[in-house]
Structure 1
Amino acid sequence: MKIKSVIASIIILLSLASLINPFNAAADEKVVYVVPIAETVEKGLLAFLERAVEEAEEAGAEAIIFDVHTPGGVVDAADGIGKLLTGTDLKTVAFVNKKALSAGAYISLNTDEIYMVPGATMGSAAIIDQQGNTAGKKAESYWIAAMKAAAVESGRDPIYAQAMADESVDLSELGAGKGELLTLTADQALEVGYSEGTVKNLNELLEKLGFEDAEIRNVNETFAEKLARFITHPVVIPILMTIGSLVGA
């Protein structure tokens, strides 16, 4: 009986040890966050992404994959998002899931790696201000410099980033002569070094990155964050300002 008791005690101790063993499978499981960057880029999106990045950092994630599908948006919001992405120590990946235009291109260039689905596009970085108007020359000059700097920071040739925002650059070989803004297809982006690869879907991307067995955590917007995005939308802001002026009159 004593031998049985000793054996039982050993089994219990081994079981407990396995729970705290730093080399067990659960402890070694990689965590990857997937965060959408969809629709218009505005201040509400920046606030949402700040929360998502903070959660990923606190969880000790291996990487954050940003699922990008946006026509662009507001300059100052894009600038803030760019600083957010370059400021984290986590690996950041832009998954251009159809389009990363204007501010979306800038955001993608501020990640560590870019992957695109077949038929995806990136570029055409014309900018608008918080009121939804086309930005002036001063803002345009800043934006061109910011696009180039983002490309240089990520080790990419800045001429293509400049051509996305500057109509004076002639890249006729890529379908963007003078007077036109550059928009890259998935094949063109891969050719000029603005993409690390073309993948069919998120699962293929995870496999390519070596995260096929990782725990995937999707971060979605809360109701409050969705409301904030609606209120800070560049089309909605002028309407709210007009209503405010009428009420205050």
Structure 2
Amino acid sequence: MTADTEPDAGRDPRPPSPAKAAPLWVIVPAYNEAARIGDTLRALRTQTDTDFTLLVVDNGSTDGTAALARSLGALVLTEPEKGVGCAVDTGFRYAIAHGAVHLARTDADCLPAPGWVAAARRALVEGRGLACGRIVARRDEHGPFGRAFFRLLVTLAAAFGRLRPAHRGGEYLAPYRMHAGNNMAITAALYVACGGMPRRPSPTDRTFLNRVRRTTTAIVHARDMVVANSTRRIRAYGVVGTAKWYLDRGSGALPADPR
């Protein structure tokens, strides 16, 4: 792991208010996202709550992702081991080592709503260990049909997750909740206690959620944490393939993790 700028290069210069004293970091894993990450970072820099450190974990991109992220004020960390789990875990542990108490994550093709950081902080300050946000489809990628299909997939995936026997064992302290890795917030203490994000195999989000569920009951579905999610997987996998992927039925001949 290598850091390309100083640890506080992405911090807003205004001092934190007493109500927001806990250091909060936002982590964005990225791989060859030069065409999209600019919109994501601009959405983060125009949040209603700007008292956070912005960290982009470049997962060995071969385009201009890292340079663009630096130009937009983000701290950039390089993780050469491919895989979104690797990038997320490296970023979270780097942030914790540099003083993070609260952590939030989105992805480099997503658009957090203006109040996303404020909602994430509020959930954690109120005593939640993990906050799972609400995802909607990006309006610039699909029309009404595509967005409606995305809503249906999310609803089905959430229902499937609750009913799946593997998610209902006696070892879990909290019920299953829909967890999107691109819209989550967690305390540093809980991240360490649960063992963190698994680096392999992909996808890792469900495994991570179940690690948290074995550790604490302090999990909330924060509906005011809203992220507009990219729906380009629908174009890549097709309708049936995307439905299978969201319902944890694999990705067929396509890789689950394109890195």
Normalised by the size of structure 2, how large is the TM-score?
0.30
- Structure with bigger helix share is 1
TM-score, with length taken from structure 1: 0.31
